[in-house]
Structure 1
Amino acid sequence: MNVTIKAHFNKQTKDSKKELVQFYVKGEDERRPELNQMTREVVVLSIKGLDNVELTAEFKKSAKDAKKTVLEFEVKGDSSAAQTFEFYKLAGTDVELNITESQMDIDEFQEGQKAYREGLKGTIAKDGTVDVNREDDPNQAELPLGDEEVAAAEIAASAAGGDNPDDDLPF
Protein backbone atom coordinates (compact mmCIF):
# COMPACT_ATOMS: atom_id res chain seq x y z
CA MET A 1 0.00 0.00 0.00
CA ASN A 2 1.22 3.48 -0.84
CA VAL A 3 -0.29 6.85 0.11
CA THR A 4 0.85 10.40 -0.64
CA ILE A 5 -0.44 13.22 1.55
CA LYS A 6 0.18 16.92 2.08
CA ALA A 7 1.37 17.43 5.64
CA HIS A 8 3.15 19.86 7.90
CA PHE A 9 6.44 18.39 9.17
CA ASN A 10 5.97 19.38 12.80
CA LYS A 11 9.06 18.00 14.52
CA GLN A 12 11.81 15.45 14.68
CA THR A 13 13.20 14.46 18.09
CA LYS A 14 15.98 12.09 19.01
CA ASP A 15 17.18 10.79 22.35
CA SER A 16 19.38 7.90 23.40
CA LYS A 17 16.63 5.35 22.83
CA LYS A 18 14.60 6.45 19.83
CA GLU A 19 13.99 8.99 17.10
CA LEU A 20 10.48 10.29 16.48
CA VAL A 21 9.12 12.14 13.46
CA GLN A 22 5.76 13.92 13.67
CA PHE A 23 3.53 15.33 10.92
CA TYR A 24 0.27 17.30 11.02
CA VAL A 25 -2.30 16.52 8.34
CA LYS A 26 -5.21 18.85 7.54
CA GLY A 27 -8.03 18.87 5.04
CA GLU A 28 -9.11 15.98 2.84
CA ASP A 29 -5.93 13.94 3.39
CA GLU A 30 -6.70 13.40 7.09
CA ARG A 31 -9.84 11.44 6.18
CA ARG A 32 -7.98 8.88 4.07
CA PRO A 33 -8.70 5.34 5.31
CA GLU A 34 -5.23 4.14 4.29
CA LEU A 35 -3.73 6.11 7.19
CA ASN A 36 -5.71 4.10 9.73
CA GLN A 37 -4.88 0.82 7.99
CA MET A 38 -1.12 1.44 8.17
CA THR A 39 -1.06 2.46 11.85
CA ARG A 40 1.16 0.13 13.96
CA GLU A 41 2.88 -1.11 10.79
CA VAL A 42 6.41 -0.66 9.49
CA VAL A 43 6.50 1.93 6.70
CA VAL A 44 9.01 3.72 4.48
CA LEU A 45 8.80 7.52 4.56
CA SER A 46 9.95 9.76 1.74
CA ILE A 47 9.41 13.44 1.00
CA LYS A 48 8.89 14.82 -2.48
CA GLY A 49 12.01 16.74 -3.47
CA LEU A 50 14.43 14.60 -1.43
CA ASP A 51 15.71 12.08 -3.96
CA ASN A 52 16.95 8.72 -2.64
CA VAL A 53 16.23 9.70 0.97
CA GLU A 54 13.97 7.23 2.76
CA LEU A 55 13.44 6.43 6.41
CA THR A 56 12.16 3.10 7.66
CA ALA A 57 9.87 3.71 10.62
CA GLU A 58 7.11 2.24 12.71
CA PHE A 59 3.85 4.15 12.27
CA LYS A 60 3.29 4.57 16.02
CA LYS A 61 -0.02 6.42 16.12
CA SER A 62 -2.52 8.61 14.42
CA ALA A 63 -4.37 11.04 16.70
CA LYS A 64 -7.20 13.24 15.50
CA ASP A 65 -8.60 16.39 17.11
CA ALA A 66 -10.89 19.19 15.91
CA LYS A 67 -8.15 20.99 13.97
CA LYS A 68 -5.77 18.34 12.62
CA THR A 69 -4.58 14.74 12.55
CA VAL A 70 -1.18 14.01 14.09
CA LEU A 71 0.90 11.20 12.57
CA GLU A 72 3.80 9.93 14.68
CA PHE A 73 6.56 7.62 13.46
CA GLU A 74 9.47 5.96 15.30
CA VAL A 75 12.47 5.86 12.98
CA LYS A 76 14.46 2.64 12.74
CA GLY A 77 17.72 2.95 14.67
CA ASP A 78 20.10 2.08 11.86
CA SER A 79 18.96 4.85 9.49
CA SER A 80 21.93 6.83 8.32
CA ALA A 81 22.65 10.18 9.93
CA ALA A 82 22.79 11.81 6.50
CA GLN A 83 19.26 10.67 5.68
CA THR A 84 17.78 11.80 8.98
CA PHE A 85 19.61 15.14 8.63
CA GLU A 86 18.05 15.70 5.19
CA PHE A 87 14.62 15.10 6.74
CA TYR A 88 15.43 17.33 9.70
CA LYS A 89 16.25 20.27 7.44
CA LEU A 90 12.59 20.28 6.33
CA ALA A 91 11.14 20.32 9.87
CA GLY A 92 8.64 23.15 10.28
CA THR A 93 7.61 23.21 6.61
CA ASP A 94 4.76 21.86 4.54
CA VAL A 95 5.78 18.76 2.60
CA GLU A 96 4.34 16.13 0.33
CA LEU A 97 4.84 12.93 2.34
CA ASN A 98 4.87 9.52 0.72
CA ILE A 99 4.11 6.61 3.09
CA THR A 100 4.75 3.13 1.69
CA GLU A 101 4.04 -0.08 3.52
CA SER A 102 7.32 -1.92 4.17
CA GLN A 103 8.03 -5.58 3.54
CA MET A 104 9.42 -5.76 7.07
CA ASP A 105 6.98 -6.90 9.75
CA ILE A 106 6.72 -5.30 13.19
CA ASP A 107 8.60 -8.12 14.96
CA GLU A 108 11.63 -7.72 12.66
CA PHE A 109 11.53 -3.96 13.22
CA GLN A 110 11.46 -4.32 17.02
CA GLU A 111 14.30 -6.87 16.98
CA GLY A 112 16.37 -4.42 14.95
CA GLN A 113 15.59 -1.68 17.47
CA LYS A 114 16.74 -3.89 20.38
CA ALA A 115 20.01 -4.70 18.62
CA TYR A 116 20.59 -1.01 17.85
CA ARG A 117 20.03 0.00 21.49
CA GLU A 118 22.36 -2.59 23.00
CA GLY A 119 25.49 -1.23 24.54
CA LEU A 120 28.21 -2.40 26.86
CA LYS A 121 27.12 -4.47 29.80
CA GLY A 122 28.60 -4.09 33.23
CA THR A 123 27.93 -3.47 36.90
CA ILE A 124 28.20 -0.44 39.13
CA ALA A 125 29.78 -1.05 42.53
CA LYS A 126 28.62 0.67 45.73
CA ASP A 127 31.69 2.92 45.62
CA GLY A 128 30.64 4.19 42.18
CA THR A 129 33.20 2.33 40.10
CA VAL A 130 32.05 0.61 36.94
CA ASP A 131 33.15 -2.87 35.91
CA VAL A 132 32.55 -3.34 32.18
CA ASN A 133 32.17 -6.85 30.81
CA ARG A 134 34.57 -6.69 27.86
CA GLU A 135 34.18 -10.32 26.80
CA ASP A 136 30.90 -9.40 25.06
CA ASP A 137 32.66 -7.10 22.61
CA PRO A 138 35.95 -8.27 21.07
CA ASN A 139 36.48 -4.78 19.61
CA GLN A 140 36.43 -3.15 23.03
CA ALA A 141 39.80 -1.60 23.83
CA GLU A 142 41.28 -1.45 27.29
CA LEU A 143 43.20 1.62 28.27
CA PRO A 144 46.12 1.20 30.66
CA LEU A 145 45.97 3.32 33.80
CA GLY A 146 48.06 6.47 33.77
CA ASP A 147 49.97 7.86 36.76
CA GLU A 148 47.02 10.01 37.83
CA GLU A 149 44.57 7.08 37.74
CA VAL A 150 46.98 4.87 39.73
CA ALA A 151 47.39 7.62 42.34
CA ALA A 152 43.61 8.10 42.52
CA ALA A 153 43.10 4.34 42.97
CA GLU A 154 45.67 4.27 45.80
CA ILE A 155 43.97 7.21 47.51
CA ALA A 156 40.59 5.53 47.16
CA ALA A 157 41.99 2.28 48.61
CA SER A 158 43.56 4.16 51.49
CA ALA A 159 40.32 6.04 52.20
CA ALA A 160 38.46 2.73 52.18
CA GLY A 161 40.55 1.54 55.13
CA GLY A 162 43.75 0.32 53.56
CA ASP A 163 47.04 1.10 55.30
CA ASN A 164 49.83 2.81 53.45
CA PRO A 165 53.24 1.97 55.03
CA ASP A 166 54.81 5.07 53.43
CA ASP A 167 52.35 7.27 55.28
CA ASP A 168 53.67 8.74 58.55
CA LEU A 169 50.33 10.25 59.54
CA PRO A 170 48.93 9.08 62.91
CA PHE A 171 45.63 7.93 61.48
Structure 2
Amino acid sequence: MKIQIAAHFNKQTKDSKKELVQFHVKGDDEKKPELNAMTRSVVVLNIDGVEQALTTEFSKSTKDAKKTVLEFIVKGDTSSENSYEFYRKAGSDVVLEIAESQMSIEEFRGDDDEEDREEPREGVRGKVNLDGTIELDDKNQLTIEEIAALEAEAAKQAEGEGGPVIPENKDDLPF
Protein backbone atom coordinates (compact mmCIF):
# COMPACT_ATOMS: atom_id res chain seq x y z
CA MET A 1 0.00 0.00 0.00
CA LYS A 2 1.26 3.47 -0.88
CA ILE A 3 -0.29 6.85 -0.06
CA GLN A 4 0.64 10.44 -0.95
CA ILE A 5 -0.39 13.28 1.33
CA ALA A 6 0.20 17.00 1.59
CA ALA A 7 1.98 17.68 4.86
CA HIS A 8 4.11 20.14 6.78
CA PHE A 9 7.46 18.65 7.84
CA ASN A 10 7.16 19.95 11.39
CA LYS A 11 10.32 18.69 13.07
CA GLN A 12 13.13 16.21 13.27
CA THR A 13 14.64 15.35 16.66
CA LYS A 14 17.41 12.98 17.63
CA ASP A 15 18.64 11.80 21.00
CA SER A 16 20.88 8.96 22.13
CA LYS A 17 18.14 6.35 21.80
CA LYS A 18 16.05 7.29 18.77
CA GLU A 19 15.43 9.71 15.95
CA LEU A 20 11.93 11.07 15.38
CA VAL A 21 10.36 12.90 12.43
CA GLN A 22 6.98 14.59 12.71
CA PHE A 23 4.59 15.80 10.03
CA HIS A 24 1.33 17.77 10.21
CA VAL A 25 -1.19 16.59 7.61
CA LYS A 26 -2.73 19.36 5.52
CA GLY A 27 -6.21 19.60 4.01
CA ASP A 28 -8.47 16.61 3.36
CA ASP A 29 -5.60 14.12 3.34
CA GLU A 30 -6.06 13.63 7.10
CA LYS A 31 -9.33 11.79 6.38
CA LYS A 32 -7.66 9.05 4.31
CA PRO A 33 -8.31 5.66 5.97
CA GLU A 34 -4.96 4.32 4.74
CA LEU A 35 -3.19 6.47 7.37
CA ASN A 36 -4.80 4.52 10.20
CA ALA A 37 -4.16 1.20 8.47
CA MET A 38 -0.40 1.79 8.32
CA THR A 39 0.03 3.04 11.91
CA ARG A 40 2.31 0.85 14.07
CA SER A 41 4.03 -0.71 11.04
CA VAL A 42 7.30 -0.21 9.22
CA VAL A 43 7.02 2.23 6.31
CA VAL A 44 9.28 3.96 3.81
CA LEU A 45 9.02 7.76 3.66
CA ASN A 46 9.76 9.72 0.49
CA ILE A 47 9.49 13.46 0.00
CA ASP A 48 8.70 14.67 -3.50
CA GLY A 49 11.91 16.08 -5.01
CA VAL A 50 14.29 14.24 -2.64
CA GLU A 51 16.07 11.06 -3.74
CA GLN A 52 16.75 9.76 -0.22
CA ALA A 53 14.06 7.60 1.40
CA LEU A 54 13.87 6.81 5.11
CA THR A 55 12.84 3.46 6.59
CA THR A 56 10.80 4.28 9.68
CA GLU A 57 8.33 2.90 12.19
CA PHE A 58 5.00 4.72 11.86
CA SER A 59 4.84 5.33 15.59
CA LYS A 60 1.54 7.16 15.99
CA SER A 61 -1.08 9.35 14.46
CA THR A 62 -2.87 11.88 16.66
CA LYS A 63 -5.80 14.09 15.71
CA ASP A 64 -7.24 17.12 17.42
CA ALA A 65 -9.56 19.93 16.32
CA LYS A 66 -6.80 21.79 14.45
CA LYS A 67 -4.45 19.18 12.96
CA THR A 68 -3.41 15.58 12.47
CA VAL A 69 0.13 14.77 13.59
CA LEU A 70 2.09 11.81 12.22
CA GLU A 71 5.19 10.61 14.10
CA PHE A 72 7.80 8.27 12.69
CA ILE A 73 10.81 6.66 14.40
CA VAL A 74 13.77 6.50 12.01
CA LYS A 75 15.86 3.35 11.64
CA GLY A 76 19.05 3.81 13.65
CA ASP A 77 21.53 3.01 10.89
CA THR A 78 20.45 5.85 8.58
CA SER A 79 23.57 7.91 8.02
CA SER A 80 23.47 11.67 8.24
CA GLU A 81 25.15 11.90 4.83
CA ASN A 82 22.31 10.00 3.18
CA SER A 83 19.51 11.82 5.00
CA TYR A 84 20.85 15.37 4.72
CA GLU A 85 18.66 16.34 1.74
CA PHE A 86 15.62 14.79 3.42
CA TYR A 87 16.10 16.81 6.61
CA ARG A 88 16.72 20.06 4.72
CA LYS A 89 12.97 20.02 4.02
CA ALA A 90 12.16 20.30 7.73
CA GLY A 91 9.95 23.30 8.42
CA SER A 92 8.41 23.38 4.95
CA ASP A 93 5.32 22.04 3.20
CA VAL A 94 6.01 18.80 1.31
CA VAL A 95 4.29 16.03 -0.62
CA LEU A 96 4.94 12.99 1.56
CA GLU A 97 4.73 9.48 0.18
CA ILE A 98 4.23 6.71 2.75
CA ALA A 99 4.74 3.16 1.48
CA GLU A 100 4.49 -0.10 3.40
CA SER A 101 7.76 -1.90 3.91
CA GLN A 102 8.34 -5.64 3.75
CA MET A 103 10.18 -5.41 7.08
CA SER A 104 8.38 -6.41 10.27
CA ILE A 105 8.48 -4.35 13.48
CA GLU A 106 10.65 -7.05 15.11
CA GLU A 107 13.18 -6.88 12.27
CA PHE A 108 13.15 -3.07 12.41
CA ARG A 109 13.80 -2.98 16.15
CA GLY A 110 16.01 -6.07 16.30
CA ASP A 111 19.43 -4.55 15.69
CA ASP A 112 18.92 -1.62 18.05
CA ASP A 113 17.58 -3.78 20.89
CA GLU A 114 20.74 -5.93 20.91
CA GLU A 115 22.88 -2.83 21.40
CA ASP A 116 20.69 -1.60 24.27
CA ARG A 117 20.99 -4.82 26.30
CA GLU A 118 23.41 -4.46 29.17
CA GLU A 119 26.06 -7.03 29.85
CA PRO A 120 25.76 -8.55 33.32
CA ARG A 121 27.83 -6.56 35.74
CA GLU A 122 30.52 -8.11 37.85
CA GLY A 123 30.43 -7.74 41.60
CA VAL A 124 28.40 -8.75 44.60
CA ARG A 125 24.62 -8.69 44.46
CA GLY A 126 22.57 -7.45 47.37
CA LYS A 127 20.10 -4.88 48.56
CA VAL A 128 20.25 -1.76 50.71
CA ASN A 129 17.79 -1.70 53.61
CA LEU A 130 15.95 1.41 54.75
CA ASP A 131 18.25 1.73 57.78
CA GLY A 132 21.29 1.83 55.48
CA THR A 133 22.54 -1.69 56.10
CA ILE A 134 23.33 -3.96 53.18
CA GLU A 135 22.22 -7.56 52.76
CA LEU A 136 24.40 -9.52 50.34
CA ASP A 137 22.97 -12.26 48.14
CA ASP A 138 26.36 -13.95 47.74
CA LYS A 139 26.34 -17.06 49.95
CA ASN A 140 30.14 -17.35 49.72
CA GLN A 141 30.62 -13.88 51.24
CA LEU A 142 31.95 -13.90 54.82
CA THR A 143 30.17 -11.91 57.50
CA ILE A 144 32.02 -9.54 59.83
CA GLU A 145 31.60 -12.01 62.69
CA GLU A 146 33.12 -14.85 60.62
CA ILE A 147 36.07 -12.65 59.65
CA ALA A 148 36.63 -11.66 63.30
CA ALA A 149 36.54 -15.34 64.34
CA LEU A 150 39.06 -16.28 61.65
CA GLU A 151 41.36 -13.43 62.66
CA ALA A 152 41.16 -14.42 66.32
CA GLU A 153 41.93 -18.07 65.48
CA ALA A 154 44.81 -17.02 63.25
CA ALA A 155 46.21 -14.78 66.00
CA LYS A 156 46.12 -17.68 68.52
CA GLN A 157 47.87 -20.00 66.10
CA ALA A 158 50.41 -17.33 65.17
CA GLU A 159 51.47 -17.00 68.81
CA GLY A 160 52.29 -20.68 68.96
CA GLU A 161 53.91 -21.13 65.55
CA GLY A 162 55.56 -17.78 64.96
CA GLY A 163 53.67 -16.68 61.81
CA PRO A 164 50.22 -15.98 60.48
CA VAL A 165 48.06 -18.86 59.34
CA ILE A 166 46.38 -18.66 55.97
CA PRO A 167 42.78 -19.92 56.23
CA GLU A 168 41.80 -22.87 54.07
CA ASN A 169 39.07 -21.89 51.60
CA LYS A 170 38.00 -22.57 48.02
CA ASP A 171 39.72 -19.67 46.23
CA ASP A 172 43.43 -19.48 45.48
CA LEU A 173 43.95 -16.09 47.08
CA PRO A 174 46.05 -16.03 50.27
CA PHE A 175 43.83 -13.47 52.06
SS in 2 for 1:99: strand
Would you say 1:109 and 2:111 are equivalent positions?
no
**Match of residue 162 from structure 2:** none
Deviations 1:108-153 (A, max 9, x none): 11112224x448858599xxxxxxxxxxxxxxxxxxxxxxxxxxxx
RMSD: 1.9
Task: Determine the C-alpha separation between the residues in 1 that align with 2:118 and 2:60.
Answer: 31
Q: Which amino acid aligns with 2:18?
A: K
Instruction: Decide whether the 8 Å contact of 1:26 with 1:67 is kept in 2.
Output: no
Relative to structure 1, the CA distance from residue 119 to residue 87 in structure 2 (aligned partners, 3 Å threshold; closer, same or farther) is: farther
Structure 1 unaligned residues grouped into runs of 5+: 126-171
**Match of residue 41 from structure 2:** 41
Instruction: Decide whether the 8 Å contact of 1:42 with 1:101 is kept in 2.
Output: yes
**Match of residue 21 from structure 1:** 21
Relative to structure 1, the CA distance from residue 89 to residue 124 in structure 2 (aligned partners, 3 Å threshold; closer, same or farther) is: farther
SS in 2 for 1:45: strand
**Match of residue 30 from structure 1:** 30
Q: Which stretch has the larger CA shift, 61-70 or 77-86? A: 77-86
Structure 2 unaligned residues grouped into runs of 5+: 124-175
TM norm structure 2:
0.65
SS in 1 for 2:57: strand
**Match of residue 151 from structure 1:** none
| Matched length | 123
Q: Which stretch has the larger CA shift, 97-106 or 81-90? A: 81-90
Would you say 1:86 and 2:85 are equivalent positions?
yes
**Match of residue 164 from structure 1:** none
Task: Determine the C-alpha separation between the residues in 2 that align with 1:124 and 1:15.
Answer: 29
TM norm structure 1:
0.67
Q: CA deviation at 1:36?
A: 0.2
In the TM superposition, 1:1-171 aligns within 5 A as 1-51=1-51, 53-115=52-114, 117-118=115-116
Task: Determine the C-alpha separation between the residues in 1 that align with 2:84 and 2:28.
Answer: 29
